[in-house]
Chain A
Amino acid sequence: MPAPDSSASLTEAPARLRRIALAGNPNVGKTTVFNLLTGLRQKVANYPGVTVERKSGRLVGAEPAEVIDLPGTYSLNPKSLDEQIAYDMLVGRIEGERSPDVVVCVADASNLERNLFLVTQVMDLGLPTVVALNMMDAAEAAGLRIDTESLSRALGLPVVPMVAAQGKGLEELRAAVLNLPEPPTPRRWTLMDVVDARVRELTEVLADAAPDLPEAHRFSEVLHALAEDKALEYWETRAPAFKQAVEQARQTLNERNVPYRFAEVMGRYNWLTPLVAQLVTRHKDPSERTWSDKIDAVVTHRVGGPLIFIVTLALIFQAVFTWATPAMDLIEASMMALGTLVRDLLPAGAVTDLLVEGVIAGVGNVLVFLPQILLLFFFLGLMEDTGYMARTAFIMDRVMNKVGLSGGSVVPLLSSFACAIPGIMAARTLDNERDRLITIMVAPLMSCSARLPIYTLFIAAFIPAGVLFGFVGYQGLAMFSMYLMGIVMAFVAAWILKKFVIKGASSYFVMELPPYRMPKIKHVLWRMVERSKIFVMRAGKIIFGLSIVLWFLASYPKVGPSPEFEAQQAAVETQRQVSLDQIAAARGVTAETFMALDPVVAAMQFQEAGAAARLDSLRALYPNQVAGALSVYEVEQQYQAELQQITDAEDGYRIRNSIIGWMGRILEPVMQPLGFDWKISAGIVTAFAAREVIVSTLGILYSVGEVDETSIALRDQLKADRYPDGRPVYTALVAVSLLVFFVFALQCMSTLAIARRETNSWFWPAVMWLYMTGLAYLFSLIVYQGGKALGLG
């Protein structure tokens, strides 16, 4: 559908309703209203350049109209990203988006005054507006009776009472929207006189300086520019004359001690407060405690609060890490089976290799995290919808504030334990830009689930299985230390960033504690699926692409068979034949004849099966032949082992000469002080795509075929690997050094890509990568060199 420009849609009313925008405060049931209006025919995407969700859907019914759910905001004065998007959407300033034809303002009836604040801001934009007065039941329960008809008259807008959770009021809302209400009448609230005079002047300056700006938007633009520097900067290049005029007005007002920044807010509330007092009657004592207050008395209790918080966290982690395991195993097994199937169906060759080792393995790398992500999103959704999320911020703010974060950072950081991507995305709920940036910068230090395979592999292989004090396992303790190290470092990094690096408006904490509500499981599940989809698509694309690239790097250039290995193989074969001939000759027959004798064949089978008793009875009958058979068995065993060694060496030789091997060898001198050889270095290079990839890379390097972190063969190969001089490559100290490296290093393309989108520059992702890699190197160095100095390793 071609989008006419926004000014046209304002001057001539559209023939048909096309775009309905849903605005409203957070926690007022806006999403429920959205779901009612659209059914579940929704589309979740992102606004261009930012990760603010753009949710839209088709209005249920015959009218072809798009319903757009704007981010929940308390105000349209653009301070946070969400507010910026909501405002820009309403005025049609976002690329590819047109101003809506009608706005539905969802308001919480039980909290009318503050909700109407936003309604008055929307009204000022001159768009046809309908107020959906939701949660009438909650207002009733709180003892409030609202005269909705008088409210409608006072606002000059249609007001539809609703209980969206029960579907009540939907038809009335649809009717009001389809009726396309008249644009609001001129503003009914007033600014204080001295500010009002300035605003009038500035509105005229703006009209001259930016003639393209629709008349209806001028007033709001002037208010924003007057109050907020960010809004003022917008005009720096677009209308310098206006910017200058605003600066001058600010100065004059400052000199006269006029609180112009708050004139707008005061003006709106001064109109609303008496209005609400008049239209709302109470039939209950307002000081009476609601059941929500009673829950809070327990949940935010001095002792009970932190206790409940810790138990909740423990339960969520238990669920994410244990409930997800069967599903993760299933996904891994399915991908493996799919790979085998493809190998069986397609002819062997480079294309099949690419498909199986690159594409299928790449998809598997993404999908395997899905169970954990789904569970995490489910629990986060539950916390959001019940209102508990705000309480976690309330309880934790003191602690977080100490290190330069805010209570609002708790959830993004917790999410980062599953994956930094949803964690970084969750940081957008922070309305202080500085807090948001710091949270993003330290989120990847939390040990995400992609580090688990590495932790598991190296801890299982090199940390003894003993027990401390009778109940604390060394391995469990090591795992816990990995997590703890990340958390402590995140706090330290946040503190340093706040203190020395990221300057900005000093943070404040102003957060609503919404009443507790019964969550709708259907909504929670729906949102879980939608958010996971975004994760899979975004992270998936990158990991998928990189897995293919890595496969190429590990497979090419292909080196031909080396004469050295061929000679070795020939020598081993000759050796075998000579030994067999000797054994047979001693018994007067050729090797072939001897090995075909029934007692010999049987003896070798018994020996292989470890059936000592049957071997003894056979020996009693054919002592000479059995003795010979045992010698043959030994020769064969040795032959197989030597052959395997040559094949492994050959695979190693191929990888060593691949691009990855070359990179590993280039890096080896740099990584040597940390105790890493070229294979680990190569693994670290490949792990840049996604951390867990190091496990499969080491698998390829050690040529043990398909591996995962629990693979015994890989574990044993690691333990058995030796430097040319006979020292083991992996000691416990090297393992610890590597673990520490993975705790700190930012080995994740997807995180960088998300950070790029969220901060809108490559600068912060670059800083993030550098400081985390620096930490990783430094701490591994300290661990390895310190350990060596102490005589460990």
Chain B
Amino acid sequence: MTLKDLKPGESGTITGYTETTPPMRLMEMGMLPGAVVEVVRLAPLGDPIDLKVRGYHLSIRKHEAGMIEVQRV
């Protein structure tokens, strides 16, 4: 499953990527395999998503969330 499939309030551990070249910025912001990510909420129009990773809030689109493979925790 990908990060896109997690519902607000759920968390997952990143296991990998569905794409060979996800945006470099995602990695730099700490969205790397092994990191635990919590989906905090969706934006009012359903996209983007507010995530909590490494102790801070990061917002990414569902499109990018779909590139990130996770395992629900």
Given A77-B24, A398-B48: A300 and B57 interface contact (C-beta under 8 Å): no
Residues of B within 8 A of A117 (CB): 28, 30
- Contact at A509–B60, with CB atoms within 8 Å? yes
- Chain B 23-41 residues near chain A, CB threshold 8 A: 23-30, 32-34, 40-41
A663 to B26, CA, bound (A): 55
A510 to B56, CA, bound (A): 13
- What 1/0 mask marks residues of chain A from 391 to 424 whose CB sits below 8 Å from any chain B CB? 0011101110100000100000000000000000
- Contact at A266–B44, with CB atoms within 8 Å? no
Q: Does B54 touch A at the CB level, under 8 Å?
A: yes
The contact of A395 among B20, B24, B29, B44, by CB within 8 Å, is B44
Q: How many A-B residue pairs have CB under 8 A?
A: 119
Residues of B within 8 A of A757 (CB): none
Q: Which of B28, B45, B57 has its CB near the most chain A CB atoms (within 10 A)? A: B28
- Contact at A509–B30, with CB atoms within 8 Å? no
Given A398-B43, A510-B26: A265 and B56 interface contact (C-beta under 8 Å): no
**Total number of B residues with any Cβ neighbor in A under 8 Å:** 32
- What 1/0 mask marks residues of chain B from 11 to 30 whose CB sits below 8 Å from any chain A CB? 00000000011011111111
- Contact at B44–A509, with CB atoms within 8 Å? no
Given A301-B44, A398-B45, A398-B47: A508 and B59 interface contact (C-beta under 8 Å): no
- Contact at A74–B59, with CB atoms within 8 Å? no
- Contact at A300–B50, with CB atoms within 8 Å? yes
Q: Which of A265, A266, A394, A510 has its CB near the most chain B CB atoms (within 10 A)? A: A510
Given A265-B32, A397-B43: A74 and B56 interface contact (C-beta under 8 Å): no
A113 to B28, CA, bound (A): 11
Q: Does A619 touch B at the CB level, under 8 Å?
A: no
Q: A113-B54, A390-B59, A509-B48 are in contact. List 18 more A-B contacts (CB 8 A).
A: A79-B24, A111-B54, A111-B56, A261-B21, A265-B28, A266-B27, A266-B32, A296-B40, A297-B41, A398-B47, A431-B25, A508-B25, A509-B61, A510-B59, A511-B58, A512-B59, A514-B56, A514-B57
Question: Which residue numbers of A lie inside 8 Å of B, CB to CB?
Answer: 74-75, 77, 79, 110-114, 117, 142, 227-228, 259, 261-262, 265-266, 269, 273, 286, 293, 296-297, 300-303, 305-306, 390, 393-395, 397-399, 401, 407, 431, 508-515
Question: Which residue numbers of B lie inside 8 Å of A, CB to CB?
Answer: 20-21, 23-30, 32-34, 40-41, 43-48, 50, 54-61, 63-64
Q: What are 29 sample pairs from A and B whose C-beta atoms fall under 8 A apart?
A: A74-B25, A74-B28, A111-B54, A111-B56, A113-B30, A114-B30, A117-B28, A142-B55, A228-B24, A259-B20, A261-B24, A262-B24, A262-B27, A265-B32, A266-B32, A293-B40, A296-B50, A300-B44, A390-B59, A395-B43, A397-B47, A397-B59, A397-B61, A431-B25, A508-B26, A509-B60, A509-B61, A510-B64, A512-B57
The 9 closest A-B pairs by CB, nearest first: A398-B45, A513-B57, A265-B27, A508-B23, A305-B44, A510-B25, A75-B28, A509-B61, A111-B56
